[in-house]
Structure 1
């Protein structure tokens, strides 16, 4: 998944700012260390993630407190307007700039959709998942406003736009070098938290797709600690190899293409389910119903085109990957699915790992046993 590759490149930039070192060895160390923690077990991984996330939140709040006295609204508009259509002091790059900036705006919230992947570990998914997702979105909105508005207002939008470590650079510009060093360490913790959660998310996604037959069955094998070890290791190896390119912005664009396509498909699926199965049991109902999902569908498609405006390569490369995946599905995995219906998919979710490990490799036999 491109977003984890982008995160590890950001981590490299933070380590370079702090220790003066960067490159493939840094990427390898972080991949090996945190995949190793995940291999130790779900509980251990989530506990570490909570501690790291708490440190990252503290870094943002500490930065906000330190910079609030230096905030000047004029600094938000210190970028000289260009000759683009609609350009002004408020929008220096015009409407094209807004369009091309959408991928970066989405990056502030990217991977929050990974929260539902913890459904199998939740005691009451119908109650806990909506609360977790909504709470995460509200908190991300709050911290995003702090980072985007306060940093630019204190240090200048132009300077922050060029920064690889914006919290640190904003504090240095405001004359807080000691706090900048502390926040650099804690900011690294924030990147690690994102990296950590994305490792968890991709492993559970690969595990679920493998278990249902969409990916090779070996990827759903679990260890004695009930950890999908190959679903952790194999994508991690691919992620590390791609991170060697150093193309962080390209990875960001590719991540947003994948995310926006998935968001659009989820919104469309919600609409179709509401229309075709209005009486389906729904423990949680989306406020606004199909109107909300319809708006989400349109916004997802607009954001998707924004990636093309930012970097056509990111758009084209990701579409090629989707085509390869579609070819694999239609030519191979479509004929090897374990679950043929939604009911069988649910049976796979509630089945124990032992049942799955002991099942026959023949999809028909596996389905019969379920």
Structure 2
């Protein structure tokens, strides 16, 4: 293989070695942990029925995200995903902010996964008679091990994700079959739809954590520069990933809401593992313990991959210090970005509570989705169909973008109801970062070098 890349002209480039299965593993691997933990806080906000409504409403939001992403990313096939899109379509300041949205969304999600894994090991250790088991060492070891795996190469990293994600998904299918959902021997179907204890305001509040079923599927775009065929692999991997998550999310809700009172379910840390414990089946408990461990590992692994690609892309374009734009000469990975983000994840995983970490990840993701709606509207206006080659064309435009905007606005309000302080703090942080970029960092950016797509002049410019 040539040591030069056709896209950026660098002596050492990222390797194009991934296929659709790896894209699926990256997207679903990041998100499937949301079925194992986190989504159930929506039950605490509004009850079991409210959580189901939030699950399907969020599913609609992410279907729009997947369709929009598949079109734009199969056309802007560069590492950085939505950051690269913003750079080419909107402008430098938006690109800088979108890059930060991505890095913080994935780094916070990585920290949440490490916290969950540590809690689970501590819980199982206590059940096994090891009362002095502590979660902190497992949090550190998880992040360090996965960072090392990412450092050594993307193919091995995402092949590992493919295997453990598939096992975690199959574990949900087996648990669903084991509780005999076609009978009322284990589940109590008449208790599932328990009404709306907090009314429709509870449904609105549940949207906050309803996103957790799917948060991160848009991370498939970060593989754009490392797949063999972006026009085929990215849409196929992303769309099949959304279908997988819709199935898993509905199954998960049905199992957990049928086995546990909504008051307990709304504050459980590992609801699917708790559901397996309630079946009194040791094999199911072991299987769901393994599934929970694997889902957290897959998610944290994918988050390290995605956050480092976004950080690397910003360094390569000099939006950040250029040192972060380096590629390892042997492993062909953005090794400095991987190493730099490790202590950031460790700090949040070690000191921050789980619901706060989840909220910061959701808020960063929500800002990113809002951008995506405006981005695709501008993209279609500036380069109408037929002016440039697209790998995929999403249907019903502009309806998905408008639906996405409406659902994002609803979710902002839902987050404000429970975490208004965090919402304001996050917005202030991004405003300060924008001022820093405009006043200090932008002078280092080489404007001509960052635009790498061979597109004609946009309509109206």
Which TM class, normalised by the smaller chain length?
0.7 to 0.9
Mapped to 2, the partners of 1:283 and 1:229 lie a distance apart of 30
Find out whether 1:112 has 2:232 as its counterpart: no
Find out whether 1:301 has 2:406 as its counterpart: no
Mapped to 2, the partners of 1:319 and 1:6 lie a distance apart of 21
Give the secondary structure class of the aligned counterpart of 2:109. helix
| Residues 158 and 38 of structure 1, relative CA distance in 2, 3 Å threshold | same
* Correspondence 1:210-249 to 2 at 5 A: 210-224=315-329, 225-249=331-355
Alpha-carbon distance, 1:202 to partner: 0.6
So what's the TM-score if we normalise by structure 1? 0.85
Asked if structure 2 preserves the Cα contact closer than 8 Å seen for 1:7 and 1:191, the reply is yes
Among 443, 446, 453, the alignment partner of 1:335 is 443
Could you list the runs of 5+ residues in structure 1 that have no partner in the other structure? Answer: 78-88, 348-370
Mapped to 1, the partners of 2:337 and 2:434 lie a distance apart of 20
* Correspondence 1:1-370 to 2 at 5 A: 1=104, 2-20=108-126, 21-69=133-181, 70-77=186-193, 89-224=194-329, 225-279=331-385, 280-281=387-388, 282-340=390-448, 344-346=451-453
- Comparing 63-72 with 139-148, greater Cα deviation is found at 63-72
- Comparing 119-128 with 313-322, greater Cα deviation is found at 313-322
Asked if structure 2 preserves the Cα contact closer than 8 Å seen for 1:271 and 1:293, the reply is yes
Asked if structure 1 preserves the Cα contact closer than 8 Å seen for 2:168 and 2:290, the reply is no
Q: What's the Cα RMSD here?
A: 1.8
Mapped to 1, the partners of 2:134 and 2:376 lie a distance apart of 44
| Residues 254 and 273 of structure 1, relative CA distance in 2, 3 Å threshold | same
So what's the TM-score if we normalise by structure 2? 0.69
Q: Deviations over 1:288-345 (max 9, x none)?
A: 1112111112212221222111212331232132123212221122222234487x24
Give the secondary structure class of the aligned counterpart of 2:320. coil
Asked if structure 2 preserves the Cα contact closer than 8 Å seen for 1:68 and 1:154, the reply is no
Give the secondary structure class of the aligned counterpart of 1:68. coil
Alpha-carbon distance, 1:258 to partner: 0.7
Mapped to 1, the partners of 2:352 and 2:379 lie a distance apart of 41
Could you list the runs of 5+ residues in structure 2 that have no partner in the other structure? Answer: 1-103, 127-132, 455-461
Identify, as 1 or 2, the structure richer in helix. 1
Q: Which has the higher contact order (CA 8 A, sep 6+)?
A: 2
Mapped to 2, the partners of 1:45 and 1:210 lie a distance apart of 22
